[in-house]
Amino acid sequence: MGRISIDNIRSLVNHYNGFVDAVKYRKDESFYNDNNNIIELSYNENPLGAGKLAIQAIREKANFAHMYPPIGYVSFYDKLASHLKISDKNLIIAPGSVAVIQLAIFQYAGRNDEVIFSKSSMPWYKWSTIGNNSIPIEIPLMEDMNHNLEAILDAINDKTKVIVISNPHNPTGLYINEQKILSFIKQVPENVLVVIDQAYFEYTEKREQILINEINNFPNLLITRTFSKIYGLAGLRIGYGIAHKEIIDGLKAKWLGAMPSVTSLAVFAATKALDDIEHIEKSREFNTNIKNKFYNLFDKYNVPYLVSEANFVTFNVKDSKKYHHLFREHNIELTPGYFFGYPEWVRTSFIKDGEVQLNKIKQIIEYVYE
């Protein structure tokens, strides 16, 4: 990776300061109660929170917070591998799926190498690339707002080392079936790592197994997932990567050099979260119901929107920069499209009291589309 250049330092610090300023309302514990009057819709958190089994584990294991976590987490690797029906040799855990993606970029791309991803993708793809002294290549979305896989293939050259594709895509929520993704991977040179970010996998309708069943056949495929979304453990920072053993070994080597440790409490909670089928099903059911209510609202007012397979929806407000203040006047914090390069759109996740949220957004839609 080497020393970050002065220009890249300035760029990243500007992003850092802007990001911190955007979430300054989270500055202390007063935000984390039910009476702060802020409707937080920008982080795609599970509005139902963590499940009972995970919370119970956190409470029971808090007494061990003074003890350093192990590196191996053998029992958790065994549990997760069994859950996924793969070998523990095909797994690496890290503080969130973004940490796995960062490790991949740091391990497989060097100075002035290129990392390709879609325009509008999660900003950490770009920030990790710049922080590695690599070059981000952003490919515009297609007219339907989904990944342009053909354009990504056309952008590959001798400098390309990593491709990152989120599926479902964040911030659109759009999904590409895994057979099409697999066909895409087959066209990518074997020396280019393809990262498929499946942070919202558990929310998808079919939860396809095509890619995970192919990991040992493609030594350039890495799948990343997280406990931050449907499992409701975003604050504990735990995610994982699934790949051929050779890739996992490379990531573990880079992990040991950087030591991005996962806490014991996160692992205790994640272990129990895997078994909390009731919470997972409730989260899916809530998500489906609230999305359908939003779709009905959009249809009623002829508002363009994208059909999402994640726990958020993206809809058109004509000019998100112009109308962003309307959401903030209603104490709503969401993601305006100008932040991710498509200013007509906004992305909203959900709160537990969906009717309150629907009513507020209905008022804004009536104003924009009057």
The domains of the chain, with CATH numbers, are 6-49+277-368 (3.90.1150.10), 52-273 (3.40.640.10)
What pLDDT score was predicted for residue 34?
A: 62
Looking at per-residue pLDDT, the higher value among 14 and 148 belongs to 148
pLDDT in tens, 201-243: 999 999 999 999 999 999 999 999 999 999 999 999 999 999 9
What's the pLDDT band for 40 if we cut at 50, 70, 90? confident
- Chain centroid to CA 51: 20
Helices 354-368/277-300 angle, 10° precision: 20
Helices 354-368/320-329 angle, 10° precision: 140
What's the pLDDT band for 261 if we cut at 50, 70, 90? confident
What's the pLDDT band for 36 if we cut at 50, 70, 90? low
What pLDDT score was predicted for residue 39?
A: 87
Q: What are the DSSP calls for 26-92, one per residue?
A: GSSGGGGSTTS--EE-SS---TT-S-HHHHHHHHHHGGGTTSPPPSS-HHHHHHHHHHHTS-GGGEE
Helices 97-108/245-258 angle, 10° precision: 100
What pLDDT score was predicted for residue 207?
A: 97
**C-beta separation of 78 from 88 below 8 A:** yes
Q: How far apart are CA 223 and CA 209, in angstroms?
A: 11
CA dihedral sign of residues 68, 258, 245, 149? positive
Mean pLDDT score of the chain: 94
Q: How far apart are CA 227 and CA 234, in angstroms?
A: 7
Question: If we measure between CA atoms, which residue out of 92, 32, 80, 89 comes closest to residue 262?
Answer: 92
What's the rounded mean pLDDT across residues 275-304? 97
Alpha-carbon dihedral angle through residues 179, 172, 233, 83, given to the nearest 10 degrees? -10
Lowest mean pLDDT among 38-42, 204-208, 293-297, 316-320: 38-42
What pLDDT score was predicted for residue 203?
A: 98
What pLDDT score was predicted for residue 348?
A: 96
Preceding omega of 304 cis (within 30 degrees of 0): no
What pLDDT score was predicted for residue 287?
A: 97
| Whole-number Cα distances in Å, 209 to 97, 177, 212, 274, 282 | 19, 11, 5, 17, 22
Q: Does residue 45 carry a pLDDT above 70?
A: yes
pLDDT in tens, 97-150: 999 999 999 999 999 999 999 999 999 999 999 999 999 999 999 999 999 999
